[in-house]
Structures are given as structure tokens and as C-alpha cells.
Structure 1
Amino acid sequence: MKDVFAKLGQDFFSTIVFLVLYLVTGDVLLATCVAIAGAVAQFVYARVKGQKLDVMTYASLALVVVLGGATLLTKDPRFVLAKPSIGHFAIGAIMLRKGWMLRYLPPIVSETIPEYVTAAGYAWAALMFALGAGVIAVAMTGDMKLWAFYVSVVAIGAKVLAFAIQYVVFRVIISRKLRAAAATSPQMGT
């Protein structure tokens, strides 16, 4: 479980840095510059350490650099407000790739219930698309406080809740399958 949070933290590091710095300082340009620098440093560190990088890592870096660069060039607050929706849509599109969740799951899950892992991956993609649409709807209001609340509380809360539901559902299904397999296997010594 700790490994899952570490990987998610790596994937969303620059987004977290941006949001925290923006909420603390209110300075879009500073938050963007630090997020870009953090994403590039994280990528370089992983390459130097020889870590295997997957599609999510490259996509995350590209989103931060491209969208962060556009933020710096335009200095348009409306773009900054809509920026997380682009990230959600892009991540949702990546999550449509079958098997993307496998790097986050222990082997017992992917070996015992692979069909549920695939379905959960698509459910995560749908959640990302819904959250992206929500960001656009909130950005259209132009209310910075509402936007900050949505991005920091609603969007993160929805992901935490989805993770918790997925964890419980996977655990229940795996337990049932393992008990059923144990009940149908021949008893030793009888």
C-alpha cells in the first residue's frame, strides 16, 4: 500500500507542488516555475538513478512543461483555471490504455482478478473525464476560491474516495475467490 502512494506521489508531484505553492502564495507564475523545475528535476533524478520510466511519467512531464509553459507565456488566469481539466483529460486518455493500473497493484490482485483490474482502469478514466469537466464548469464561474476548493478538495477527495472504494472491493473479491478456491481444492491428508 505504501508503494502505491509513493508511485502516485511521484506521478502527481508537480501538480501537488503547483497547487500548494499557488494556494500559499497566490502567485501563478512562481507556482508554475517551481512546478516545472520540480518535474524536470524529478525526471532527471529518475534517469540518473536508472529507474524504468513508463508512459505515465513521460505524460506527466510533458503536461507540466507544455501547460506550464503556456501559463507562463499567456499569464492568463482563465488558462490557469482550465489547466487542471486538460491534465485530467490527458490522464483520463492515458488511463484508457488497458493494463495501466498494473504497476500500482500487488501481484495477488493482478493475478487473481485481472478482469476487475481492467474494469477499474476504465472507471478511473471515466472519473478523470468527469473531474475535468467539473474543472471547466468551475473555471467558467471565474471564482478563484471556488476553483481552489474544487481542485484541492473535491477533485482530490473524489480520487481518495475512489481509491478507498476500489481497495475495499478488490479486497472483498479476492478474499471470496481465495476462500472458494480453498473450499474446492482437495483436503490434504484425507
Structure 2
Amino acid sequence: MKLLIDFFPIILFFVAFKVWGIYAATGVAIVATIAQIVYLRFKNGKVEPMQWVSLGVIVLFGGATLLAHDENFIKWKPTVLYWLMGAALLLGQLIFKKNLLRSVMGAQLQLPDAVWLKLNLAWSAFFAAMGALNLWVAYNFDTDDWVNFKLFGGMGLMFVFVIAQAIYMSRYLPQDAAKGSAPNDAEAKDKQP
């Protein structure tokens, strides 16, 4: 359900673009993002800082697209968002000595400090690359191709990256959870009458 909520504005943007074009889709994306924030606020009682940033970016760049009637603004929106997320992770680590990725996921995962650092740097690099790739697609292909890339290419690359991160992290997860609670042979023999 959370995944659907997260991708709700992107999916509606895609559908609206295919039916009505880029400007209507931009308006739909703005309204959908506002609806997403309202829903999260009432459901969870709070909204994550990056979700507020995402709302600000879509309102700013989407609004500029509609006011100037220039689709280049909306094409910059994913890049700006990717670069802001990557910069937040990197600057948090380098300047504030705080691993923001660990702050978000640390309650669910127990990993060594060095692994958290590598994950944080990997995500920073991934976001930087995704921002650059978005601009390359936006300026080298037509708007229809860019919208397809935004939904399928962007989500596909994110999915592949998350799977790669999960495989990497699995090497460092505590093995007790994987073994379960079954007693080993020595414990079983000790318990026999």
C-alpha cells in the first residue's frame, strides 16, 4: 500500500499525459502530490521531510511549467529532486557527521558502521546519476519518450538498485534471524532423556 501511495502522483502524471498532454499532466501531478501529502498527514499524523521537499519541488517546477507554458521546467523536476536527496545524504555525512540513511532505516536493520557509510555513499551517487540521466533523456528524446522513461525507466532502475542494495546488505545481517529458533544437534542431544 505504501508503495502505491509513493508512486500515486507519478502514475497519475503518466496517465494524464497519455490522455491530455504534458500541461494537464503537470496540473494533475501537482494536485495528486498535494492529495498524497494530505492523506499521509491524516493517516500517519506526520509527513516526512523529503515528502515536503517533493511537494515544494513539484509546485515550483510544475507551476513554472504551467505559467510559462514551457515543458522544460517539469522535465527538470526529477533531476532537482534526485540531486536534493543525494546532496542531503552526502552533506549530512560529510558536514554533520550524520548518516541520514541510517537514521531512517537503522531501527529496522543492524549493520556495521562501514556498511552504513557505503550504502549512504552509494545512494548519493545513485541519485546524482539518476538526475543526470533524467536530463540526458529529457534533452535527447521527445517528451513522450521522457514520460515513459520517467515511469518505467526511473522506477525500473530504482528497483534494480534496491535489489542490489538488499543483496549487498544481506551479507552483513545477523545470522541468528536466518537460522531461526531450531536447536542445534548438541542442544537436542542434551535435552534427550
TM-score range normalised by the length of the shorter chain: 0.7 to 0.9
Identity among equivalent positions (%) equals 28
Q: CA deviation at 1:154?
A: 2.5
Can you give the 5+ residue segments of structure 2 that lack an aligned partner in the other structure?
93-97, 179-185
1:47-86 equivalences under 5 Å are 47-49=41-43, 51-86=45-80
2:82 to 77, 88, 95: 88
Calculate the TM-score normalised by the size of structure 1: 0.74
The size of the alignment, in residue pairs, is: 175
Matched-pair contact (CA < 8 Å) for 2:86–2:123: yes
SS at match of 2:45: coil
Query: Matches of 2:16 and 2:139 in 1, distance apart?
Result: 23
SS at match of 1:107: coil
Does residue 1:44 correspond to 2:43, yes or no? no
Calculate the TM-score normalised by the size of structure 2: 0.73
Question: Bigger relative contact order, structure 1 or 2, given CA contacts below 8 A and separation 6+?
Answer: 1
Cα deviation per residue 1:149-175 (whole Å; 9 max; x = unaligned)? 432332222110010011122122215
Matched-pair contact (CA < 8 Å) for 2:78–2:131: yes
Matched-pair contact (CA < 8 Å) for 2:57–2:77: no
Q: CA deviation at 1:108?
A: 4.8
Query: Matches of 1:27 and 1:54 in 2, distance apart?
Result: 30
Query: What is residue 107 of structure 1 aligned with on the other side?
Result: 107
Structure number, greater radius of gyration: 2
Matched-pair contact (CA < 8 Å) for 1:36–1:64: yes
Query: Matches of 2:113 and 2:100 in 1, distance apart?
Result: 12
Query: 1:20 and 1:120, CA in 2 relative to 1: closer, same or farther beyond 3 A?
Result: farther
